[in-house]
Amino acid sequence: MKNTKKAFTMIELIFVIAILGILAAAAIPKLSEAQNQAKVEKFKAGLDVIKQTITPDEDVCKEAHTAENARLTLEVADLKQSLKNKDIALKTERTLNKMLTANLKILNGSSNSYENSEIKDDFSVSQY
């Protein structure tokens, strides 16, 4: 009696398994490379987000510098005005001291008028 049962032989199965192994050996590095490339792209995207978060916007920086420059300009103007006021106060004090000295001289009889004193030119509004 002949065996009429149809089946694969052992050799055929070994060849099929060998071919599948060769195909798997060729495909696994490509899949691994694709996974690594995806990880790198994900990492780069994360770095871009961090960079955008850390790096201030150029317009924001310009506004901050403009505001700081305006504040410093006002502060310098206030200081200049304060110095000018102090200078005026000192000149006024000197002039008043000279006038007082001249008056004392007049009272003591040392001088007859303001014409000879040095305060005539010092006490003028145009200087201020």
Closest CA to 71 of 81, 59, 63: 63
Report the predicted TM-score, pTM, of the whole model to 2 decimal places: 0.34
Poorest-pLDDT segment among 59-63, 86-90, 102-106: 59-63
Instruction: For 114-123, write each residue's pLDDT tens digit.
Output: 554 455 555 4
